[in-house]
């Protein structure tokens, strides 16, 4: 059942299937797959650990002009390991010291954005709108909805991820008590349109990096690469999930576990736009990659790696080169390699694209402590590599 505020142009939905077709027609946003009903439904259907809801803003003519995807996350602080240096663990540790985060119950987090993917994939506002005003209305609407619908209050509100060019708009959130901070950047490779094959990419590299690439390809030559399809996916999901957890446990900013069964629905609805490959050594899976072709962009999603075999067989490097191979074959313009492992991604040509997250605590006094803490958080520094011969081959 649609739930609405007293403000007539704000509407809430607790399922994608309940959003009327005319809303999607008004928004005209589905060409961006992150805002397509098929993609959002796949996330919703397979990740019951999250509580989803959606906000639609309409204008005076009752035409939809904005959309936001929101997830409620129960984050269990006691599940964190002492050596875990993730952002949420650091927030949890200082919260315990200040006695503002109880140990006996989960931290309730509201995330407006995409819990599982880096980038501006949570809020869509039509280009002819006053985006600052609409964003402010969305943020207020989200707060009011949670006050009406959830018995236990939200501990932390997060609005993620905003590109640098969006900051004049997204900084409107600061006036609502949010604090801005940067996490690890998205690593982005712009492809040279003259690359018609992977060999063209290799030729564009400086000698040092071309030698490194060829050595990695030689070391990974023993790996068998298999395309994952709807037909063979069921038998691969168990080892894929095991390998995914090995990587996810090392993530700096990880809001929650992703249910890999989502891949089956994504593959069914998005077909060749969703990329899945597994890597095998003899009869053992030692890695997998996933990604989505969204317009002219290939977005790298989750990977799984057997770290015990990674160095010897260059599994992760091979995955990065395979992403590049796919993008060249598909005549794409950009690869978003996402966060983490920034240095090795820069060695294949990616450069950092900074993303800003906004965060606030429910209590005003606690929020001031949170601000002081966030000021001390800086993304992990890395040694940026510049592998291309020509400056024009990179951003």
Q: What is the mean predicted confidence (pLDDT) over 153-174?
A: 93
Tell me the C-alpha distance between 40 and 301, whole Å: 15
Question: Exposed/middle/buried for 187, CB within 10 Å: 0-12, 13-18, 19+?
Answer: buried
Tell me the C-alpha distance between 209 and 212, whole Å: 5
Which residue matches tokens 């006094």?
365
Which residue matches tokens 């809020």?
123
Predicted pLDDT of residue 80: 46
Going by pLDDT thresholds of 50, 70 and 90, the confidence category of residue 392 is: very low
What tokens does 361 get? 């605590």
Query: If we measure between CA atoms, which residue out of 5, 129, 114 comes closest to residue 68?
Result: 114
**Per residue, what are the HEC states of 273-305?**
HEEEEEEEECCEEEEEEEEEEECCEEEEEEEEE
Asked if 162 and 170 touch (Cβ cutoff 8 Å), the reply is yes
Q: What is the pLDDT of residues 185-238, one digit of tens each?
A: 999 999 999 999 999 999 999 999 999 999 999 999 999 999 999 999 999 999
Q: What's CA 31's distance to the chain center, in Å?
A: 18
Helices (H), 47-183: 87-97, 131-149, 167-170
Tell me the C-alpha distance between 137 and 371, whole Å: 23
Helix 207-219 / helix 315-329 crossing angle, nearest 10 deg: 110
Those residues with Cβ within 8 angstroms of residue 361's Cβ, 6 or more apart along the chain or in another chain: 100, 155, 156, 157, 367, 369, 370
Going by pLDDT thresholds of 50, 70 and 90, the confidence category of residue 89 is: low
Asked if 156 and 298 touch (Cβ cutoff 8 Å), the reply is no
Task: With a cut of 80, say whether residue 171 has pLDDT above it.
Answer: yes
Q: What is the pLDDT of residues 16-48, one digit of tens each?
A: 999 999 999 999 999 999 999 999 999 999 999
What structural domains does the chain harbor?
A: 3-185+354-362 (3.40.630.30), 187-353 (3.40.630.30)
Task: With a cut of 60, say whether residue 391 has pLDDT above it.
Answer: no
Range with the lowest mean pLDDT among 111-120, 144-153, 325-334?
Answer: 144-153
Cα torsion angle, 249, 250, 256, 257, sign = negative
* 27 vs 108: which has the higher pLDDT: 27
Tell me the C-alpha distance between 56 and 365, whole Å: 31
Q: What is the mean predicted confidence (pLDDT) over 36-64?
A: 96
Q: What is the mean predicted confidence (pLDDT) over 92-111?
A: 68
Q: What is the mean predicted confidence (pLDDT) over 368-392?
A: 72
Query: If we measure between CA atoms, which residue out of 154, 105, 85, 71 comes closest to residue 366?
Result: 154
* 250 vs 313: which has the higher pLDDT: 313
Predicted pLDDT of residue 107: 77
Tell me the C-alpha distance between 9 and 141, whole Å: 10
Task: With a cut of 60, say whether residue 78 has pLDDT above it.
Answer: no
Which residue matches tokens 């999930």?
241
Cα–Cα–Cα angle for 344, 347, 353, rounded to 5 degrees: 80
Q: What's CA 302's distance to the chain center, in Å?
A: 9
Those residues with Cβ within 8 angstroms of residue 330's Cβ, 6 or more apart along the chain or in another chain: 293, 298
What tokens does 135 get? 């964003």
Predicted pLDDT of residue 238: 97
* 150 vs 141: which has the higher pLDDT: 141
What tokens does 58 get? 């309409």
Predicted pLDDT of residue 151: 79
Task: With a cut of 90, say whether residue 380 has pLDDT above it.
Answer: no
Predicted pLDDT of residue 253: 57
Q: What is the pLDDT of residues 285-312, one digit of tens each?
A: 999 999 999 999 999 999 999 999 999 9
- The pTM is what? 0.90
Eight-state DSSP code of residue 35: G
Range with the lowest mean pLDDT among 27-41, 251-265, 322-336?
Answer: 251-265
């Amino acid at each position: 059942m649609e739930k609405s505020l007293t403000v007539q142009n704000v509407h809430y939905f607790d399922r994608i299937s309940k959003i009327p077709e005319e809303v999607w027609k008004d928004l005209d946003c589905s060409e961006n797959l992150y805002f397509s009903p098929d993609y959002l439904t796949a996330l919703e259907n397979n990740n019951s650990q999250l509580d989803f809801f959606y906000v639609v803003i309409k204008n005076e003519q009752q035409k939809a002009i904005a959309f936001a995807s929101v997830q409620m996350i129960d984050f269990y602080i006691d599940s964190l390991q002492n050596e875990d240096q993730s952002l949420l663990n650091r927030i949890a540790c200082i919260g315990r010291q200040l006695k503002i985060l109880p140990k006996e119950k989960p931290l309730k987090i509201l995330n407006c954005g995409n819990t599982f993917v880096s980038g501006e994939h949570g809020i869509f506002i039509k280009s002819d709108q006053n985006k600052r005003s609409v964003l402010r209305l969305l943020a207020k609407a989200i707060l009011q909805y949670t006050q009406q619908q959830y018995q236990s209050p939200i501990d932390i509100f997060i609005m993620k991820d905003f590109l640098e060019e969006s900051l004049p708009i997204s900084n409107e959130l600061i006036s609502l008590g949010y604090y801005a901070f940067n996490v690890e950047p998205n690593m982005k490779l712009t492809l040279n349109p003259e690359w018609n094959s992977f060999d063209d990419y290799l030729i564009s590299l400086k000698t040092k990096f071309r030698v490194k690439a060829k050595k990695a390809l030689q070391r990974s030559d023993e790996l068998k690469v298999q395309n994952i399809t709807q037909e063979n996916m069921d038998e691969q999901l168990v080892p894929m999930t095991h390998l995914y957890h090995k990587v996810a446990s090392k993530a700096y900013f990880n809001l929650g576990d992703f249910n890999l069964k989502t891949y089956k629905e994504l593959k069914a609805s998005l077909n060749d736009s969703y990329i899945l490959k597994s890597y095998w050594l003899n009869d053992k899976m030692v890695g997998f990659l996933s990604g989505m072709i969204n317009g002219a962009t290939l977005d790298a999603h989750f990977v799984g790696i057997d770290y015990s075999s990674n160095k010897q067989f260059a599994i992760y490097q091979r995955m990065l080169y395979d992403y590049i191979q796919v993008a060249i074959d598909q005549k794409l313009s950009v690869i978003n390699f996402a966060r983490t492992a920034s240095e090795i991604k820069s060695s294949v040509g990616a450069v950092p694209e900074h993303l800003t997250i906004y965060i606030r605590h429910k209590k005003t006094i606690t929020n001031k402590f949170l601000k002081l803490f966030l000021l001390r958080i800086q993304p992990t520094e890395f040694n940026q590599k510049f592998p291309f011969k020509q400056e024009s081959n990179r951003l």
